[in-house]
Structure 1
């Protein structure tokens, strides 16, 4: 069965966040990696790692809900990354500062 581009995007966005947070990528069948329940579990793990309030356990899972959660995760990662650049903290991507004007 062919995956929609949304499923692949969500899986890629979560995998990117897991890598940035140095989390182990889950070992599973390739067909499982884009299923909504599997992606929800991975998003919950990331939210716990990043101390983001998770939705109530009885909240129905949906692709729209997952999109919002990924948006929150990426926003938190970008804001923390930018704060590290501006504070001149040692960081592996410190050379990104050279690409930003007027810093």
Structure 2
């Protein structure tokens, strides 16, 4: 009985972590690309380019991007390119933040 209870608790914890992960992102104004809830807009360069301050891009955030349907199609240093439904977004990481740039600069 204890083993079954432990397994159920582990499954519940897993769902809690997954749910918290989805709740910790929001769509941005750049092609609805997901950004962390606690990322703060630092500068709006254009309708398709926004810089955010954030403590660092981690595996959980990258996983959330993929779960939202974005596929990583290229990487070069601190630049990652993601694509979904024909839209491309570049994410450039730098110390203390990141910038997202859509594929149609205005």
Structure number with higher strand proportion: 2
Common fold: TM-score over 0.5: no
TM-score scaled to structure 2, two decimals? 0.32
